[in-house]
Amino acid sequence: MITNILIRLLHRLPIGWLQLNHNRTRLIAAVGGVTFANILIFMQLGFMGALFSTSVFTHKNLSTDLVLLPSNFLSLREATSFPRRRIYQAESHPAVVSADPIYIGQVFWTDPVGGDTAQFRVLGVPPDSPDPIFLNKTIQAELPKLKQPDKAILDIKTRQLNPDITKAILEKGSYDLELNNLQFHFVGTFTQGGSFGDDGSIIVSTDAFMRLFRNRQPGTPTLALIHLAPGSDAHKVAREINALLPEGDTIAMTKQQFIDAEQNYQAQQTPIGFVFGFGVVMAFVVGLVIVYQVLTTDVQDHLAEYATFKAIGYSQGFFRGIVFEEALSLAILGFVPGLVVSIFLYAFASRATGLPIEMQFGRPAFVFSLTLIMCVLSGLIATNRLAHADPADLF
């Protein structure tokens, strides 16, 4: 069946395909190699994509047009703070409708029941702000509960969170946890999920945040959300606000710039981009070597036949065509199972790590392109062997 399709496409016998198909052991080895390389590449990209996307969960969820940040900002995880006065300075811009300070810190928690530990990102927000703080409607609806002292809401997608805690909050409406030796009443939940650095998030009021982090001051927020009047040009206003802040310790940027800055930091300053990029390259090389091995052996085994074909008038290009036909067949045959297995492995790894490992649109096309390059490159190296097919050697 495939043979007939190929005859129609190539207008000649698909020798490469017939050769591959004739030696099933070799075919399976080669396809297995390509599949294996594909799975490795998909997994590396999956983890990398998940880490990049989780690193900006908090950022994306903020309901804002602009943000004020300390001017040395690289990443929220390492963010310092800036003087609250800057917010008032920024508010003097006519396009600014409102501004809300946000405080961010990390707290390490040990579950007294199971002994499990978790690292939480804590967001201190003004619970009575008339402006929306979060895009997530569930969180926004829970915020009024934080007006009472020592209340908190918990990300129930926190990595390996004891399900009893979730159950207690959802059923009884409250669950008490000790953070930094202080009793907190968890009265609400939301779902977000952890990132590379944090297992999950907790949201509290500004007052509760100050009690939790003794060394932090209300006068030094980590960032501020700035809502603009409808129809304002965010980029232009950001530039104008920056002109209003001559001290140089604070910077205004659009929400998208804020997200991009974080992702750039993750890609360039952390080992994530390098580690997974390196993994992709290694997987590529493994696939390249396997396909090259198979194609070279195949050419080697058929040198006498090729020499015969040469003797009856076939050109060098014809033999290159055979090798590329094989390379292409292997790319396609190896990619399809690689993609299918990877989709299953994504689901599995996603459950195991709590990271949102998803098959992003465009990634299969990218990996298939890599596979094609891998196979064609192997084929290109393997065709060197064809020069050894000399019809004079047949005698």
Partner 1 sequence: MTTSPAIQTRNLSHHFGSGETRLQVLHHLDLEIPKGQFVILMGPSGSGKTTLLTLVGCLRSVQEGSVKLLGEELSGANERTLMLMRRRLGFIFQAHNLHDSLTAMQNVRMGLDVHGKGHGPEAEAACQHVLELVGLGERVDHYPSQLSGGQKQRVAVARALIGNPDILFADEPTAALDKEMGQQVIELIRELANQRQTTVFMVTHDHRILDYADRIINMEDGRIVES
Enumerate residues 6+ apart whose C-beta is below 8 A from 181: none
Look at residue 327 and give its three-state secondary structure: helix
Which range in 13-21, 32-40, 189-197, 328-336 contacts partner 1 by CB under 8 A? Answer: 13-21
Structure-token pair, residue 179: 């953070």
* Contacts with partner 1, 315-344, as mask; x by CB under 8 A: xx----------------------------
**Among 296, 219, 223, 284, CA closest to 258:** 223
What's the burial of 323, exposed, middle or buried (CB within 10 Å: 0-12/13-18/19+)?
buried
Q: How far is the CB of 382 from partner 1 (least distance, A)?
A: 17
Which range in 8-16, 158-166, 277-285, 373-381 contacts partner 1 by CB under 8 A? Answer: 8-16
Check residue 24 for interaction with partner 1 (CB under 8 A): no
Backbone angle region of 223, left / alpha / beta, with phi > 0 → left and psi within -120 to 50 → alpha: beta
Check residue 11 for interaction with partner 1 (CB under 8 A): yes
What's the burial of 274, exposed, middle or buried (CB within 10 Å: 0-12/13-18/19+)?
exposed
Q: Which of 9, 12, 149, 268 binds partner 1 (CB under 8 A)?
A: 12
Q: Are 133 and 63 in contact (CB under 8 A)?
A: yes
Q: Which of 285, 304, 347, 373 binds partner 1 (CB under 8 A)?
A: 304
Check residue 121 for interaction with partner 1 (CB under 8 A): no
Which range in 195-203, 265-273, 278-286, 300-308 contacts partner 1 by CB under 8 A? Answer: 300-308
Residue placing its CB nearer to partner 1 in the complex, 26 or 121 = 26
Check residue 297 for interaction with partner 1 (CB under 8 A): no
Alpha-carbon distance of 198 to 192, in angstroms, equals 12
* Contacts with partner 1, 250-269, as mask; x by CB under 8 A: --------------------
Residue placing its CB nearer to partner 1 in the complex, 27 or 74 = 27
Check residue 21 for interaction with partner 1 (CB under 8 A): yes
Check residue 395 for interaction with partner 1 (CB under 8 A): yes
Q: Which of 2, 281, 311, 373 binds partner 1 (CB under 8 A)?
A: 311
Q: Are 325 and 10 in contact (CB under 8 A)?
A: yes
DSSP notation for 253-275: EEHHHHHHHHHHHHHHTSHHHHH
Residue placing its CB nearer to partner 1 in the complex, 110 or 316 = 316
**Among 245, 216, 199, CA closest to 66:** 245
Q: Which of 309, 319, 324, 346 binds partner 1 (CB under 8 A)?
A: 309
Alpha-carbon distance of 246 to 243, in angstroms, equals 6
Q: Which chain residues interact with partner 1 by CB under 8 A? A: 7, 11-13, 15, 18-19, 21-23, 302, 304-305, 307-316, 391-392, 394-395
